[in-house]
């Protein structure tokens, strides 16, 4: 075996820590960016933060974070286990999210138990029943099992359950869908005639839209059945779902587009994102020993890079959205049906960046427009097919057209998926019946059988 040495020249891009940080910041949403800024502020004493929520007209001046003595003492951190960590001032602003408490279904029911049931045996049974009610409001255990667990007579359990079924929300404590609807219908005084018959006997047929079969069985017209079903559908099949649960996720738009004098203006939303500066004392490190100067230089360089990365994120996001608005002018003027196919590569070439930069810029971000909030990624939806005119279609266009056709159809003779496919083809949108069915279901429209009105 021979061994030899050879020299090869080549180029490669090294992903430094700073470059990785800049890429990460570019793809962060506004809320995530705020979290990163707060974390860096706590760890880097060279940074001072001016919160965008503060009132800047108060006339108060921000004092320097550290005295000369405190700056000099930073050298003691070098070479220790706590190297790189900075002391936190006592007046550090808090960033805890304020969350409005929301009562759970169990809390609402237990409060009513305390008013409706006598202390002792009754209240003990009632609390056990409440604990057996799921998040939808249904009792998912039999009264026999409850009685055995509590070592009481089943009739006692049934009596207390009847009391609980009179609580708010209406229909709570039901053991199945029919009982849930029955309780609500009784409380509203509509549990009679055809409505009562449908609730007790025909819910499965209602789900299958078999109105003609129900009409034949109950000796009435399909129109009467459909009218009764419309009334029943106003009842709540999941009465417990309006209580408690996880905290809702709120969308904070990163970009705001406003129409001013027939032109669209792009604004990068900086509300809630703190502004960063270099602490005044750190701008001049003369008078410090070498170790302290080195420490200050490292921290200042890190702070400067972070500030530049945030500004680069803002500028890139502004450039990307400005190009989107230019290309999609018809969408902003006329709505979703006029959304044009667009590639990230096209936007990247127009603003002079790499395609991956555009991809990161639009990730996890939303735009607020005059007619709603939209994800930036929606502008780059996948293409579906080519039309006879050579134009590409996107899902949003097809969905908008399907929605329009369904809204304009004759409710007594609704269009089938095949008919919708053929009508789209006439509009230069060649889409298969299966694709039409998929998009119709995504829009929340039932099949033509279930859309039919008598």
Taking the chain, what is the end-to-end CA distance rounded to the nearest angstrom? Answer: 89
Distance CA 204, CA 225 (A): 14
Pair 87, 74: CB distance under 8 Å: no
Q: What is the pLDDT of residue 91?
A: 36
Distance CA 69, CA 67 (A): 5
Would you call 276 helix, strand, or coil by DSSP?
strand
Q: What is the pLDDT of residue 160?
A: 95
Q: What is the pLDDT of residue 59?
A: 39
Distance CA 25, CA 36 (A): 8
Nearest Cα to Cα of residue 161 among 133, 189, 187, 136: 133
Q: What is the pLDDT of residue 86?
A: 38
Q: What is the pLDDT of residue 68?
A: 42
Q: What is the pLDDT of residue 11?
A: 64
Distance CA 276, CA 200 (A): 66
Q: What is the pLDDT of residue 82?
A: 38
Residue 150, burial from CB neighbour count under 10 angstroms (0-12, 13-18, 19+): middle
Q: Give the DSSP letter string of 124-179.
A: HHHHHHHHTB-TTSBB-S-HHHHHHHHTS-HHHHHHHHHHHTTSSSTTTTBSSHHH
The residues with which 373 forms a beta bridge, in sequence order, are: 368
Q: What is the pLDDT of residue 76?
A: 46
Q: What is the pLDDT of residue 35?
A: 87
pLDDT per 10-residue tile (average), the chain, 454 residues: 67 66 83 86 83 45 43 43 38 38 84 92 94 93 93 94 94 95 95 95 92 93 93 94 66 88 89 80 68 82 88 92 92 81 88 91 89 85 47 69 91 92 88 90 89 86
Report residue 48 as tokens: 């001072």
What interhelical angle do 344-351 and 290-327 show, nearest 10?
120
């Amino acid at each position: 075996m021979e061994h030899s040495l050879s020299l090869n020249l080549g180029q490669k891009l090294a992903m430094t820590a700073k470059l990785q940080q800049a890429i990460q910041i570019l793809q962060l949403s506004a809320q995530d960016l705020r979290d990163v800024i707060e974390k860096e502020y706590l760890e880097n004493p060279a940074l001072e933060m001016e919160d965008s929520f503060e009132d800047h007209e108060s006339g108060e001046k921000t004092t320097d974070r550290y005295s000369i003595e405190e700056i000099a003492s930073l050298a003691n951190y070098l070479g220790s286990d706590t190297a790189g960590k900075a002391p936190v001032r006592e007046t550090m602003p808090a960033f805890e999210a304020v969350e409005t408490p929301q009562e759970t279904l169990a809390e609402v029911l237990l409060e009513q138990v305390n008013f409706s049931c006598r202390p002792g045996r009754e209240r003990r049974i009632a609390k056990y029943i409440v604990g057996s009610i799921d998040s939808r409001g249904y009792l998912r255990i039999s009264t026999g099992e409850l009685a055995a667990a509590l070592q009481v007579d089943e009739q006692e359990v049934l009596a207390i359950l009847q009391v609980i079924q009179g609580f708010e929300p209406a229909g709570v404590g039901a053991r199945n869908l029919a009982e849930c609807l029955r309780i609500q219908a009784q409380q509203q005084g509509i549990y009679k005639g055809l409505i009562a018959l449908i609730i007790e006997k025909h819910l499965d047929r209602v789900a299958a839209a078999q109105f003609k079969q129900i009409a034949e069985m109950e000796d009435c017209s399909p129109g009467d059945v459909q009218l009764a079903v419309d009334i029943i559908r106003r009842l709540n099949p999941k009465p417990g779902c309006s209580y408690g649960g996880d905290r809702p996720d709120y969308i904070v738009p990163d970009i705001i587009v406003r129409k001013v004098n027939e032109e669209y203006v792009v604004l990068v939303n900086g509300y809630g994102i703190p502004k960063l500066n270099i602490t005044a004392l750190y701008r001049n490190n003369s008078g410090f020993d070498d170790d302290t100067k080195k420490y200050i230089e490292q921290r200042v360089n890190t702070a400067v890079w972070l500030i530049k990365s945030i500004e680069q994120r803002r500028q890139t996001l502004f450039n990307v959205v400005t190009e989107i608005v230019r290309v999609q002018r018809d969408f902003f003027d006329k709505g979703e049906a006029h959304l044009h196919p667009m590639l990230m590569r096209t936007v990247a070439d127009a603003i002079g960046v790499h395609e991956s930069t555009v991809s990161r810029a639009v990730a996890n971000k939303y735009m607020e427009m005059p007619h709603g909030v939209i994800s930036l990624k929606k502008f780059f939806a996948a293409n579906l097919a080519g039309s006879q005119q050579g134009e590409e279609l996107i899902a949003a266009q097809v969905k908008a057209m399907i929605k329009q056709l369904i809204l304009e159809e004759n409710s007594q003779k609704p269009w089938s998926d095949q008919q919708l496919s053929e009508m789209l083809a006439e509009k230069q949108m060649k889409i298969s019946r299966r694709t039409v069915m998929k998009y119709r279901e995504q829009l929340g429209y039932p099949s033509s059988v279930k859309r039919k009105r008598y």
